[in-house]
């Protein structure tokens, strides 16, 4: 008892020396972008995430699509923020160096009934002000998509649909936020929230407390649990829906050029075929409500469903080129739109609930909407004249032209040393991923930043080399190196008796 | 009753049969017969493992027992080999433990320990 | 400057190919991406290598050293720490693009190229294994490297999926280094490893082998570490049988579920690929359907014995030298087709322009056969036959016979007749 008292006293003492203006819980694509938007004003911001990296749950495993906004109910936040968000991607490609693959999309119909549904969808696209959409017949669609299933009769073409690289969206926003003064703490699980007077007290890992004037709940899948720490009645419940996927190796690049959608159902956009920024192709997802929203797993049934349904979109899918399967989770809620509002119970507490698809599409718009229209930050804090919106684009060495490569190599010979042979990632790129404001010393962190280990051999060749690099750069034993969370150490013991 | 052995002398892995009278068949070479006879009386195995070195770039070096040793001694042999530390450059075949567990068999290096020259 | 022959890869295959080509007085350059020669042999510290080539039993590193010594004695030019990132052919000349810290990006030209780039391990992603994706599911070869080269154990309670040789060898290695190995599951009704490895890696240490079983669930703990696996018996169509579930608490699942030839360097070539070997189709000179481009070793077909890699690659190196010497007189060829009970054959073509006298065919059976006759037909004519016992898919078989009498118009069919 006395010990507990003494301990909490220590925490109080530690906590009181800083009062943040905003604490954001969650560092996915949403939390990271809100942090960055807040930098436009003279604010002190802290971001907390329970994971050992940004973008590690919903932002980690998804289709990577920037949808056109054709699908959501007209007048909904989802409709407005996805059309706006889609536009913002083009701007962010310039400002933050966000990867964008301008694929366009085809929504396909197979028969008369589906063609009627397709027409209704086109009408939604018109109302939602989706640019440049059109209806194509099978022959027209086939010109740009030679592997389109022969069973397709008509398609809705959505040229503004594109594909991004979700991890880089979060890295870019958070790196830029940190550069503009935001503090980020990883491995910080929020365990308690209280509000005393006008101050929020946020306890992390049961042993440390942070204080802020406002609190933003961008905790994704956990957002209802987080809200439950401070609200008696949380206005929504997250019903996790998992989505299972296959990844086809980048050797199949060009098998499809557009994002291929079936007609949407109540469960979502259905099983898609999606070309990825780095050349791979995703098949999936299915959509299944799961009991344990923190543990999406793959299943025979789920993956079989994905294969069968993908086959309705394209013929002769090269499934022998599958290099990975995975399951992601959507934080679908029982509220049928994004829930982006101030708490009805607790003033200064803001919800970002039910941000499932098109959350990635809308992330930049969601951040702006929250900051400008929901929180009206401009009325509370003055503009920060020193805000620098620009972030340098990451060097993707393998994508440079031969001349660019040779020029860079003169300055930096480590670009010559290939560490990941499948994705052709160089020693310099991996070193860069270890250092800098969002540097990582985990295998997964480096994979997310560079793609080393994401290819054909799934790290079988390069993981050992990366371990050696981490050990050297951070001066630690390989025994201390983790795959992701600190507890996921790569090795359990060293062999042989220590002399 | 006929007993079946899989000969492990070479990767061919002959299925060798021994009948009640002790007649051996199925082996494609003489060594198979010797193997089965030993296997019935005193089975032996070559132990291959590693030893620690003091060199950062070669943290472990591989070793083997030059001949097979009795199967029952494998764990004891491992305990002894695990304590060896190589502190100097050595060649393949050099002895790291002489006459291990009085078997008359030496443990030798199977990898040259040579520090990389800086060119 | 144009090299005569560039060999890509400095493991068992590349060393043998380069040595053979150099012995025919060719100007040879070998390119290796690692810091030392020897390739995967360096981590294969177990014995059993060399009986065919040297009539003596060596460990992997010793076997490699024999070849490295000969390679060095012939003064063959080589590069270390250099990765080939692109291979092209313009007219009759190959352009090899290299990347290294020392040389940056450079281009090397060659008249002939031998691909000896080995293979990579099939990963979890390439099979459908349901469940979580925790840390602790790792390919056996990676675990072998960590253990034997770096000195680190990946786990203390281990299960192994797949009875490939690396898995079996690792069962023994991890057991002897103090880990508990709970079992090996193999989806096929027979083992995929050599018999001797079943005996001395599993039976010697009472490690159970579950034939016709596979892993049907993977569970992780709250930190996404492997916590447990479930294995299940499968029926003849490989579907899991309900009620046969067995659970094991483990921290590591080693995968020994197959090796796949690494032919990514050939991606830009319009070559014939054999879906069974997952590598390029070749003629008996180990030449792909691109003239002057040779392939051998595990990048051609996955071998069980390194001795066969060396012999095959040596022949490929010799062929490359013959090609340089202009000894290929024509390009008239027939197909060699796998039939009854044959999984694959290599070569897939017999090309009559080459000066070899013997045709060597490697093949694997598609099922276990106690007694069988290997029969090769050309049309209705039986051109070769031989009886064999104990034929299993896990062990590559070879036959060799003179082909000067064969017709140049009709394809060859290879069959295994069950006796």
Do the chains contact at B60 and A495, CB–CB below 8 Å? yes
Stretch among A379-383, A436-440, C6-10 having the lowest mean pLDDT: A436-440
Q: How far is B10 from chain A (nearest CA, A)?
A: 29
CA distance A26 to A222: 9
Tokens found for residue A339: 């829930």
Do the chains contact at B15 and C195, CB–CB below 8 Å? yes
| Residues of A that are catalytic | 67
**C100 contacts in chain A (CB < 8 Å):** 416-417
**Helices A166-179 and A77-96, interaxial angle, to 10°?**
70
What is the architecture, at CATH level 2, of domain C1-121+259-328?
Answer: 3-Layer(bba) Sandwich (3.50)
Q: How far is A495 from chain B (nearest CA, A)?
A: 8
How many helices (H) and strands (E) chain C has is answered by 6, 30
Please, which residues bridge with residue A350 across strands? A216, A342
- CA torsion angle for A143, A144, A148, A152 (degrees, to 10)? -60
Please write the tens of the pLDDT for every residue from A411-438: 999 999 999 999 999 999 999 999 988 9
Whether the pLDDT of residue C264 is over 50: the answer is yes
Residues 6 or more apart whose CB falls under 8 angstroms from that of B53 comprise: B59, B60, B61, B85, B86, B87, B113
Do the chains contact at A495 and B83, CB–CB below 8 Å? no
The 3-state DSSP composition of chain C as helix, strand, coil percent (nearest 5) reads 20, 40, 40
**B83 contacts in chain A (CB < 8 Å):** 496-497
Q: Are strands C157-161 and C180-186 parallel, antiparallel or unpaired?
A: parallel
pLDDT band at A189 (very low <50, low <70, confident <90, very high): very high
Q: How far is C304 from chain B (nearest CA, A)?
A: 9
For residues A161 and B12, the model is more confident at: A161
Q: Pick C125's closest partner by Cβ from A323, A413, A421.
A: A323
CA distance C225 to A322: 24
**C139 contacts in chain A (CB < 8 Å):** 460
Whether the pLDDT of residue C70 is over 90: the answer is yes
Do the chains contact at A497 and B51, CB–CB below 8 Å? no
Please write the tens of the pLDDT for every residue from C334-361: 999 999 999 999 999 999 999 888 999 9
pLDDT band at A7 (very low <50, low <70, confident <90, very high): very low
CA distance C212 to C233: 6
Q: Which residue of A has its CA nearest to C267?
A: A251
Do the chains contact at C145 and A485, CB–CB below 8 Å? no
Do the chains contact at B112 and C65, CB–CB below 8 Å? yes
> What is the mean predicted confidence (pLDDT) over C187-197?
87
Chain B interface residues facing chain A, Cβ-Cβ under 8 Å? 50-52, 60, 82-83, 85
State percent of chain A over pLDDT 90.
92
Q: Pick C101's closest partner by Cβ from A416, A464, A467.
A: A416
Do the chains contact at B11 and C305, CB–CB below 8 Å? yes
**C124 contacts in chain A (CB < 8 Å):** 324, 458
Residue A276 lies in a domain: yes
Please write the tens of the pLDDT for every residue from C71-84: 999 999 999 999 99
Q: How far is B21 from chain C (nearest CA, A)?
A: 24
CATH code, domain with A198: 3.50.50.60
The number of distinct structural domains making up chain A is: 3
Whether the pLDDT of residue B86 is over 60: the answer is yes
Chain C interface residues facing chain B, Cβ-Cβ under 8 Å? 35, 42, 45-48, 51, 57-62, 65, 147-151, 173, 176-177, 194-196, 198-200, 204, 304-305, 390, 395
**C121 contacts in chain A (CB < 8 Å):** 457, 460
Looking at the fold, whether A278 and A312 belong to one and the same domain comes out as yes
Q: Contact, A217 vs A353, CB < 8 A?
A: yes
Would you say how long chain A is, in residues? Answer: 499
At residue A267, the pLDDT reads 76
Q: What 3 state SS string does chain B have?
A: CCEEEECCCCCCCCEEEECCCCCEECCCCHHHHHHHHHHHHCCEECCEEEEEECCCCCCEEEEEECCCEEHHHHHHHHHHHCCCEECCCECCCCEEECCHHHCCCCEEECCCECCCCCC
Q: Within the 268-297 window of chain A, which residues sit less than 8 Å (CB to CB) from chain C? A: 295, 297
**A495 contacts in chain B (CB < 8 Å):** 50, 60, 82
Do the chains contact at C135 and A488, CB–CB below 8 Å? yes
Give the residue extent of every domain in chain C: 1-121+259-328, 123-257, 331-419
DSSP state of C239: P
Residues 6 or more apart whose CB falls under 8 angstroms from that of A422 comprise: A454, A455, A456, A457, A461, A462, C264
At residue C392, the pLDDT reads 86
Residue A499 in contact with partner chain B when CB distance is under 8 A? yes
Stretch among B7-11, B93-97, C305-309, C410-414 having the lowest mean pLDDT: B7-11
Residue A494 lies in a domain: no
Tokens found for residue C216: 């049907």
Q: Which residue of C has its CA nearest to B92?
A: C62
Query: Cis bond leading into C139, ω under 30°?
Result: no
> Which of A293, A416, A444, A490 has the highest number of chain C CBs within 10 A, making it the mutation to test binding with C?
A416
Do the chains contact at C123 and A460, CB–CB below 8 Å? yes
Do the chains contact at C176 and B50, CB–CB below 8 Å? no
Q: How far is B54 from chain A (nearest CA, A)?
A: 10
Looking at the fold, whether A140 and A246 belong to one and the same domain comes out as yes
Q: Contact, A382 vs A374, CB < 8 A?
A: no
pLDDT band at A449 (very low <50, low <70, confident <90, very high): very high
At residue A9, the pLDDT reads 46
**Helices C306-324 and C12-23, interaxial angle, to 10°?**
40
Whether the pLDDT of residue A3 is over 80: the answer is no
CATH of domain C331-419: 2.60.40
At residue C217, the pLDDT reads 95
CA distances from A40 to A201, A371, B107 (A): 25, 10, 70
Largest CA distance in chain C: 68
Give the residue extent of every domain in chain B: 3-41, 48-109
Q: Which residue of A has its CA nearest to C155?
A: A492
CA distance C383 to C385: 7
Give CATH superfamily name and number for C123-257. FAD/NAD(P)-binding domain (3.50.50.60)
Q: Contact, A229 vs A39, CB < 8 A?
A: no
Do the chains contact at A499 and B52, CB–CB below 8 Å? yes
Residue A469 lies in a domain: yes
Looking at the fold, whether A409 and A463 belong to one and the same domain comes out as yes
Whether the pLDDT of residue A13 is over 70: the answer is no
Residues 6 or more apart whose CB falls under 8 angstroms from that of A329 comprise: A57, A58, A61, A221, A240, A241, A242, A243, A290, A293, A294, A296
pLDDT band at B117 (very low <50, low <70, confident <90, very high): low
Residue A70 lies in a domain: no
Q: Contact, A157 vs A125, CB < 8 A?
A: no
**C200 contacts in chain B (CB < 8 Å):** 8, 45
Do the chains contact at C204 and B71, CB–CB below 8 Å? yes
Please write the tens of the pLDDT for every residue from A455-467: 999 999 999 999 9
Q: Contact, C182 vs C248, CB < 8 A?
A: yes
Residues 6 or more apart whose CB falls under 8 angstroms from that of A174 comprise: A27, A32, A35, A36, A47, A54, A182, A184, A438
Q: How far is B51 from chain A (nearest CA, A)?
A: 7
Residue A477 in contact with partner chain B when CB distance is under 8 A? no
Looking at the fold, whether A209 and A283 belong to one and the same domain comes out as no
Looking at the fold, whether A316 and A375 belong to one and the same domain comes out as no
Do the chains contact at A499 and B60, CB–CB below 8 Å? no
Q: Contact, C177 vs C158, CB < 8 A?
A: no
Residue C199 DSSP SS3: helix
Tokens found for residue B74: 């494998």
Q: Which residue of A has its CA nearest to C104?
A: A416
Looking at the fold, whether A346 and A476 belong to one and the same domain comes out as no
> What is the mean predicted confidence (pLDDT) over B21-29?
87
CATH 3.30.390.50 is right for the domain spanning B48-109: no
Distance in Å from the first CA to the final CA of chain A: 45
Residue A493 in contact with partner chain B when CB distance is under 8 A? no
> Which of C41, C42, C48, C102 has the highest number of chain B CBs within 10 A, making it the mutation to test binding with B?
C48
**B85 contacts in chain A (CB < 8 Å):** 499
CA distance A32 to A59: 11
Please write the tens of the pLDDT for every residue from A90-105: 999 999 999 999 999 9
Tokens found for residue C397: 């078989």
Range of the domain at A202: 2-58+167-238+335-379
Query: Cis bond leading into C347, ω under 30°?
Result: yes
Do the chains contact at C142 and A496, CB–CB below 8 Å? no
**A251 contacts in chain C (CB < 8 Å):** 264, 267
CA distance A114 to C407: 58
Same fold, C1-121+259-328 and C123-257: yes
Do the chains contact at B11 and C57, CB–CB below 8 Å? no
Whether the pLDDT of residue B11 is over 70: the answer is no
Q: Are strands B48-53 and B44-45 parallel, antiparallel or unpaired?
A: unpaired
CA distance C258 to C276: 13
Q: Pick C125's closest partner by Cβ from A405, A418, A458.
A: A458
**C150 contacts in chain B (CB < 8 Å):** 59-60
Chains contacting C (3+ CB pairs below 8 angstroms): A, B
Contacts 24+ apart (CB under 8 A), B93-96: B96/B51, B96/B63
Query: Cis bond leading into A358, ω under 30°?
Result: yes
Q: Within the 112-131 window of chain C, which residues sit less than 8 Å (CB to CB) from chain A? A: 120-121, 123-126, 128-131
Q: Pick C267's closest partner by Cβ from A251, A409, A494.
A: A251
Q: How far is A54 from chain C (nearest CA, A)?
A: 16
Do the chains contact at C152 and A494, CB–CB below 8 Å? yes
Burial class of residue C198 (count of CB atoms within 10 Å of its CB; 0-12, 13-18, 19+): buried
Looking at the fold, whether A115 and A40 belong to one and the same domain comes out as no
ipTM for the whole predicted complex goes beyond 0.90: yes
Would you say how long chain B is, in residues? Answer: 119
């Amino acid at each position: 008892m006395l010990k507990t008292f003494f301990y909490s006293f220590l925490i109080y003492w530690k906590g009181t020396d800083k009062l943040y203006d905003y604490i954001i819980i969650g560092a996915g694509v949403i939390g990271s972008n809100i942090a960055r938007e807040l930098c436009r004003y003279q604010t002190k911001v802290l971001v907390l995430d329970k994971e050992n990296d940004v973008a590690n749950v919903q932002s980690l495993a998804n289709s990577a699509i920037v949808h056109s906004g054709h699908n959501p109910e007209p007048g909904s936040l989802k409709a407005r923020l996805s059309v706006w968000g889609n536009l913002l991607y083009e701007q962010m490609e310039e400002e933050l160096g966000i990867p964008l693959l301008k694929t366009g999309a085809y929504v396909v119909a197979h028969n008369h009934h589906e063609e009627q549904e397709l027409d209704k969808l086109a009408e939604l696209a018109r109302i939602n002000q989706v640019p440049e959409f059109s209806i194509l017949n099978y022959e027209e669609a086939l010109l740009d998509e030679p592997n389109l299933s022969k069973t397709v009769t008509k398609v809705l073409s959505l040229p503004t649909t594109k594909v991004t690289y979700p991890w880089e969206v979060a890295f870019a926003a958070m790196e830029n936020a940190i550069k503009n003064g935001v503090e980020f703490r990883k491995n910080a699980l929020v365990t308690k929230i209280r509000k005393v007077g006008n101050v929020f007290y946020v306890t992390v890992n049961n042993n440390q407390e942070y204080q802020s004037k406002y609190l933003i709940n961008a905790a994704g899948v956990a957002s209802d649990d987080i809200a439950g720490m401070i609200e008696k009645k949380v206005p929504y419940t997250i019903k996790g829906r998992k989505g299972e996927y296959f990844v086809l190796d980048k050797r199949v690049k060009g098998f499809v050029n557009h994002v291929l959608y079936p007609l949407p159902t109540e469960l979502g956009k259905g099983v898609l075929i999606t070309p990825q920024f780095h050349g791979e192709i995703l098949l999936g997802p299915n959509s299944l409500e799961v009991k344990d929203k923190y543990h999406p797993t793959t299943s025979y049934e789920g993956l079989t469903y994905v294969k069968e349904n993908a086959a309705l979109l394209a013929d002769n899918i090269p499934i022998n080129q599958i290099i990975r399967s995975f399951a992601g989770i959507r934080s679908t809620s029982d509220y049928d739109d994004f829930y982006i509002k101030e708490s009805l119970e607790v003033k200064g507490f803001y919800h970002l609930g039910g941000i499932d698809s098109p959350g990635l599409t809308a992330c930049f718009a969601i951040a702006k909407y929250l900051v400008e229209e929901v929180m009206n930050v401009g009325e509370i804090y003055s503009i920060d004249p020193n805000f620098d919106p620009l972030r340098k684009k990451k060097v993707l060495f393998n994508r440079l032209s031969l001349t660019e490569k040779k020029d860079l190599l003169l300055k930096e010979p480590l670009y010559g040393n290939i560490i990941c042979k499948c994705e052709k990632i160089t020693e310099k790129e991996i070193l860069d991923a270890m250092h800098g404001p969002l540097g990582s010393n985990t295998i997964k962190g480096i994979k997310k930043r560079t793609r080393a280990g994401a290819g054909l051999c799934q790290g079988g060749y390069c993981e050992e080399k990366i371990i050696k690099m981490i050990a050297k750069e951070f001066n630690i034993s390989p025994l201390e190196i983790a795959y992701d969370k600190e507890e996921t150490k790569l090795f359990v013991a060293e062999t042989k008796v220590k002399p | 009753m006929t007993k079946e052995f899989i000969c492990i002398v070479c990767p061919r892995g002959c299925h060798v049969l021994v009948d009640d009278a002790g007649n051996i068949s199925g082996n494609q070479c003489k060594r198979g017969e010797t193997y089965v006879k030993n296997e019935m009386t005193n089975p032996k195995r070559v132990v291959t493992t590693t030893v620690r070195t003091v060199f950062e770039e070669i943290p472990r070096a591989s070793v083997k027992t030059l001949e097979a040793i009795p199967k029952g001694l494998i764990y004891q042999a491992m305990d002894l080999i695990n304590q060896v530390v190589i502190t100097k450059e050595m060649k393949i075949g050099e002895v790291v433990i002489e006459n291990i567990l009085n078997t008359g068999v030496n443990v030798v290096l199977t990898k040259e320990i040579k520090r990389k020259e800086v060119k | 400057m144009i090299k005569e022959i560039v060999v890509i890869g400095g493991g068992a295959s590349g060393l043998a190919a380069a040595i053979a080509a150099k012995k025919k007085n060719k100007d040879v350059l070998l390119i290796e991406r690692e810091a030392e020669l020897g390739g995967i042999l360096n981590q294969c510290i177990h014995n059993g290598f060399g009986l065919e080539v040297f009539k003596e039993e060596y460990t992997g590193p010793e076997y490699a050293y024999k070849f490295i010594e000969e390679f060095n004695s012939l003064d063959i030019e080589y590069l270390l720490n250099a990765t080939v990132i692109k291979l092209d052919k313009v007219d009759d000349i190959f352009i090899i693009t290299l990347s290294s810290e020392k040389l940056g990006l450079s281009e090397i030209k060659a008249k002939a190229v031998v691909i000896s780039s080995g293979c990579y391990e099939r990963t979890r992603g390439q099979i459908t294994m349901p469940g979580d994706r925790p840390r602790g599911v790792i390919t056996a070869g990676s675990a072998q490297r960590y253990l034997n080269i770096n000195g680190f154990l990946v786990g203390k309670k281990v299960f192994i999926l797949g009875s490939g040789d690396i898995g079996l060898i690792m069962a023994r290695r991890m057991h002897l280094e103090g880990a508990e190995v709970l079992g090996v599951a193999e989806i096929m009704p027979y083992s995929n490893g050599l018999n001797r490895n079943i005996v001395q890696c599993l039976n010697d240490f009472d490690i159970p082998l579950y034939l016709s079983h596979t892993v049907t669930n993977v569970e992780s703990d709250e930190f996404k570490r492997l916590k447990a696996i479930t294995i299940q018996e499968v029926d003849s169509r490989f579907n899991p049988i309900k009620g046969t579930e067995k659970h094991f608490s483990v921290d590591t699942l080693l995968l020994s579920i197959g090796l796949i030839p690494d032919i990514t360097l050939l991606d830009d070539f319009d070559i014939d690929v054999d879906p069974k070997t997952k590598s390029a189709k070749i003629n008996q000179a180990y030449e792909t359907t691109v003239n002057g481009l040779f392939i051998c070793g595990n990048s051609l077909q996955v071998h069980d014995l390194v001795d066969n890699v060396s012999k095959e690659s040596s022949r490929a190196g010799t062929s490359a030298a013959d090609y340089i010497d202009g000894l290929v007189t024509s390009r008239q060829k027939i197909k060699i087709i796998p039939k009854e009970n044959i999984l694959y054959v290599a070569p897939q073509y017999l090309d009559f322009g080459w000066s070899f006298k013997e045709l060597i065919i490697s093949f694997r059976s598609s099922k276990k056969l106690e007694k069988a006759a290997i029969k090769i037909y050309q049309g209705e004519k039986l051109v070769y036959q031989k009886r064999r016992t104990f034929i299993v898919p896990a062990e590559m078989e070879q036959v060799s016979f003179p082909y000067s009498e064969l017709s140049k118009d009709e394809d060859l069919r290879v069959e295994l007749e069950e006796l």
